[in-house]
Structure 1
């Protein structure tokens, strides 16, 4: 049966979701870098859910630093003790930590891990992941193909806030010093004003809410394990109504009725909806700015709130037993629909003098379960003649039985826990940094740049396919050329990508740089050695362990780490950092330029401007996705000793929209051949972190 999962951001939302029939809820851990429930709130919420038969999935909604990993492991152990059903990870390293800390706990791969193709999902399975939460950008055809392969449970989102950026690839807040989406602290910068193509587009990044609950019967038919309804929805009343409708659709395997649609539209007044990427092509009108609910919506929410507040709408079926016979102690019991039992015994009945009990009296007293999480379905009474119990004895029996049953239902099953293997902190100073030049266009690949003799040259696979001759000046210099794969390659795009890699191999390329574990196999199939890109979001030593076991030659670390955190990492393989360039701000699935100009023109240089004077280059990526880069350039050319002391092996110079001359001057400055400094430089996050 298709599971309806409701995210619950606060205590009232927990009550609203559970009382509205949610099969499961998602609650966030607080601590270990995550923002969510306190330990007391967390324990209380899990107990509330367990008593009422609702599963709990605890999410650590953050990348986890080495200094936080012990606390994160402790959160997993406390989740075991509380009775959580699964843990959702948004960090590769945290998956390892969770598996070590609670070997029997189910671990789900969250959306921000970016598992968007079959090979990536297989990599997650090898790490012990029990369910993969698929990103919202997958069309229905690809969900169907992934579901047919089987091997792991799948979860998809059918209603929630849509992000302009692909999950896990939004760094807009971090590079602007306003939090970090990857650390669960998104300030919603995509809701602000920007201009594209020289004209004011108002809110080109602000997306409508995803509303695809009509897909529920189709998803159930595919064998999808669960649908998430309400990602990013804060109002408990909205979550309650949404859950009610989704539960009915999932149980009856039907689409919402016209009345249900009207109810949702009313309670979500002020929000605009889109079916997102489910149809196979991006909805042409996906942007919109959230508004405020009007009076009619507030009245509707008030009515919903009255339904779940201080009420027990979700009730577990129970059966009572009572033995009242002369000469034997009074015995009573209760059993719920899951087989949990409790008993309570009292004194022997008294002889009745004109006030003897009858069957109806006993049944009536045990059926008084209103205001409790239980619904009495049956009372089994063995009542002897001429007996009665002291006044209030039946009420006491009922209360004690319910109390015992509640305690038993709230009790977590025993689950074996383990100890987190500590990471070997720190690494020796690097005597010499490898020079890594990364370009975006063939025009940047000049003979003068080649004469500087970089150790590695990173070139987009699309540039290599279009201009294979552009790398020829670098090959005699002993430079190793690596093809940079797009961060996103869906299953339907793999065949074309394999052909591009074969052409690059024929041109003299020997390595590939991948931003997803799911791309390692296709690169190796082309005969290329593989390096890890920044898109892997490697934030801790445990993620580096995964990269090493995957056979990567090196890995570019998350640029959200500060220099001290980098120094403390245990490095089982060579590491790199982006030491120069505009940092990636976001990766969009839809073409921003086409949405703005009405036609596809993203092959030409483009930029996006904010209200504060920041200018963000917009670069076309594979299949017309767009990469947005930050307004300032990171420059560590005068801080290379700090980079060496941090144990980093490679300094990666990321050239985006620089001209050929500037590329050469920047490269010379890092090689000690020039005093060049770019205008508007920044140290990025390397000396403050997130």
Structure 2
């Protein structure tokens, strides 16, 4: 069975989703979710929503899928505990610190890995299973063949994004909104910079980052056959009528096991689209055709939305199939029972039937009376009635018994499940190291590694595995006090693994001992090859509990989120050595759809590619592993003239070289070592002093 999961950004949207056939809804409760601007539910609303949904056979998933600070974790843990007590069916998380807190406070609450965890290969899914999660929401960029490969081998349920807005960046890896506008998408306040104008050659004259919405309505049979457990519809920020339209159409196509009609396709597009829909990722066919915008002043589909409102406003559609049983026998009370699809049974007994003076009641009359479930969530499947002849029962008595058993059944369906609960404990606090952090260096290209750079002996030199395996000569002149590490790609599809493994093995042979791991899907391979594990910024660390979780997973150090302020970094209890980026162009996006090729029609990643925004800021676009793009910040992070980063309790401070030439790399390292007054020209302090919402 392919579960249909609909968005519930408000009570109206929840009602619209349920009444139009959703099997489950996902919703926020409080401020700790990826749509903080939605009309998130209060505790009273949330309790009512769960009761409403469970009565009608619909599951409720709580979204707790943002990065949280240590100060926020106690409240989030309490919220998860209360949600579990109220009967929430699962919680979605991104932050491993939040996962740790949920385990303590709500041990019986099922956990799903949010798409914000950037789960996109089989090892990533297995890592989620090892963490105790029961379902993983895959990255939206995956093709059908990649999804099928994962489903065939996954130890847990797989959820796939089916309809709605596509982010340009892999979810969980986008820092654009935070770095440029101080509104963090990883904290639920994305300002959607991808929908703004950008361009090449200094002219912001297009929308190269604005993807059309996805629509897989005609792929439902294929998804079901592949073994996908759940299809997710996006739209917690959209109005209830939109939710009603898309849920109704997807539910009908799923239930009837058919293709959509032309009218249904038109209705989906009228409800909301950006110049049509795309299936580019699913079909493994990226390119400029996947992009579109929502024209200003697009008229509302008034007639379609008016019809949609009629499906859920003051409307009760029968959603739960039940079977009735009745017994009318001489000398015994009339008995009526009802059973729901989950095996719950409710029974009631009435008065003893009297002897019929004129006309006896028949089994057909009893069945017709019990089947009258209008105005309730129940739909009568079948009725079995054993009725002896010569007896009389008022129809009003049968109506009363029907109402009684349905009320009893409803109470059972609303009953709160027995759930264990606990208290959140932050645990032991670790003292900060007092020595200044050792400097590490990461490069994007082996050509950036010069004898002069090696001569300045950084503590660790990180290179992409591909670069090191192809250019081992770059290590000539390496000093014994410098360890060599490989940077694993943040995104590796399963079909790319053989080549990457060869690179990692070659790097190990060349003397690399450290592995900078930016995704859980790369963890097992790095561990198996004997690398010392170091968590990169792709594995977010926003609180002390996340550091404890990474320690449990075997990491020797972790890179802290550059969305934290230096004061927050200083106050963080560090269960393992902590590293922070202190120099370089911060990464803003990693994208599957090559915007460079979209621009020119050919692969020109190795040249200079600059994306310009409407304010004239220039963002370099560089090649990432697997012919992906990485968009870098317009200004370089520079802190060498500030003392605070040295006093934040860091064990390591990293200089991340991306677009620098070899000379600039040496100059930057020399400056941070205190040997010069060099600076990179225009620069930024990042978010270390500003912070994010």
TM-score under structure 2 length normalisation = 0.91
- Counterpart for residue 512 of structure 2: 509
Q: Distance in 1 between matches of 2:147 and 2:414?
A: 36
Supply the distance in 2 between the matched residues of 1:236 and 1:542 (Cα, whole angstroms): 37
Could you say which residue in structure 1 is the equivalent of 2:555?
A: 552
**Selected match of 1:672 from 671, 674, 680:** 674
What CA distance in whole angstroms lies between the structure 2 residues aligned with 1:527 and 1:394?
73
For 1:261, the equivalent position in structure 2 comes to 265
Query: What is the alpha-carbon distance in structure 2 between the residues aligned to residue 42 and residue 625 of structure 1?
Result: 41
Whole-angstrom CA distance in 2 between matches of 1:598 and 1:312: 53
Is residue 220 from structure 1 mapped to residue 216 from structure 2 by the alignment?
A: no
Contact 2:451–2:476 (CA under 8 A) maintained in structure 1: no
Structure 1's unaligned 5+ residue stretches are none
Per-residue deviation at 1:200?
3.8
Which stretch has the larger CA shift, 461-470 or 14-23? 461-470
Partner of 2:459: 455
Residue of structure 1 equivalent to 2:291: 287
How far has the Cα of 1:385 moved from its partner? 6.5
**SS of 2:92's equivalent?**
strand
> Which residue number corresponds to residue 648 of structure 1?
650
Residue in structure 1 matched with residue 199 of structure 2 by the alignment: 195
Tell me which of 223, 245, 263 is aligned to 1:241: 245
Q: Deviations over 1:18-71 (max 9, x none)?
A: 111111111123234663322222211111110000112212131122222222
How do 1:416-431 and structure 2 match up within 5 A? 416-431=420-435
User: Using the alignment, how far apart are the partners of 1:106 and 1:385 within structure 2?
Assistant: 55
RMSD: 3.0
- Shift in alpha-carbon separation, 1:104–1:507, aligned structure 2, 3 A: same
**CA–CA distance in 2 between the matches of 1:142 and 1:294?**
36
* 1:612 equivalenced with 2:591 (yes/no): no
Q: Secondary structure at the match of 1:310?
A: coil
Alignment of 1:148 onto 2:152 = yes
Paired residue secondary structure (2:310): helix
Once the two structures are superposed, residues 313-343 of structure 1 have per-residue CA deviations (whole angstroms, 9 ceiling, x without a partner) of 2332345567788987776654434333445
Give the counterpart of 2:317 among 313, 316, 325. 313
**1:621-636 to 2 correspondences below 5 Å:** 621-636=624-639
Which residue of structure 2 aligns with residue 24 of structure 1? 24
C-alpha distance in 2, partners of 1:9/1:631? 35
Distance 1:142 1:337 in 2: 34
In structure 2, the residue matched to 1:124 is: 128
Paired with 1:270 and 1:543, the residues of 2 have a C-alpha distance of 38
Q: Residues of 1 paired with 2:512 and 2:347: CA distance?
A: 74
8 A contact 1:220–1:253 mirrored in 2: no
**Cα shift at 1:522:** 2.7
Tell me how far 1:168 sits from its aligned partner. 0.8
Q: Secondary structure at the match of 2:5?
A: strand
Equivalent pair of 2:430/2:575 in contact (CA under 8 Å): no
Q: Distance in 1 between matches of 2:295 and 2:492?
A: 35
CA distance in 2, matches of 1:686, 1:610: 23
* Aligned partner (choices 360, 383, 402) of residue 378 of structure 1: 383
Change (3 A) 1:638 1:415: same
Cα 1:585/1:294, change in 2 over 3 Å: closer
Match of 1:4 in 2: 4
Q: Does 1:115 align with 2:119?
A: yes
- The structure-2 alpha-carbon separation of the partners of 1:271 and 1:8, relative to structure 1 and needing over 3 Å to count, comes to farther
Distance 1:488 1:58 in 2: 27
**Do the aligned partners of 1:88 and 1:107 also contact (CA within 8 Å) in 2?**
yes
Following TM superposition, by how much is the alpha carbon of 1:386 offset from its aligned partner in structure 2, in angstroms?
Answer: 7.9
Cα pair 1:18 1:314 within 8 Å, conserved: no
Indicate the residue corresponding to 1:685 in structure 2. Answer: 687
Aligned-pair CA distance for 1:578: 0.7
Do 1:158 and 1:215's aligned partners in 2 also have CA atoms closer than 8 Å? Answer: no
Q: Secondary structure of 1:129's partner?
A: coil
Give 1:172's aligned residue.
176
- Equivalent residue for 2:471? 467
Per the TM alignment, residue 666 of structure 1 is displaced from its structure 2 partner at its CA by: 2.5
Match of 1:434 in 2: 438
Please identify, of 92-101 and 592-601, the stretch whose mean Cα deviation from structure 2 is larger.
Answer: 92-101
Say which SS state the counterpart of residue 227 (structure 1) adopts: strand
| Structure 2 counterpart SS, 1:67 | coil
Give the corresponding residue for 1:657: 659
Give the Cα separation in 2 of the matches to 1:253 and 1:320. 28
> For residues 12-91 of structure 1, what are the structure 2 equivalents within 5 Å?
12-32=12-32, 35=36, 36-91=40-95
Q: Cα distance, 1:245 vs. partner?
A: 2.8
The CA distance in 2 between the partners of 1:296 and 1:630, in whole Å, is 37
Contact 1:513 1:530 (8 Å CA) reproduced: yes
- Give the paired residue count: 687
Task: Report Cα offsets for 1:510-534 as digits up to 9, x if no partner.
Answer: 3221101221333344443231110
Query: Is the aligned partner of 1:476 residue 2:456?
Result: no
Partner Cα separation in structure 2 for residue 39 and residue 605 of structure 1:
52
* Conservation of the 8 A alpha-carbon contact between 1:498 and 1:526: no
Deviation at 1:588, TM superposition (A): 0.8
Q: Residues 425 and 568 of structure 1 are in contact (CA less than 8 Å); yes or no, is this contact kept in structure 2?
A: no
Please report the TM-score for the alignment, with normalisation by the length of structure 1: 0.91
Q: Match of 1:634, SS?
A: strand
Distance 1:213 1:323, change over 3 A: closer
Q: Quote the offset at 1:577 in angstroms.
A: 0.5
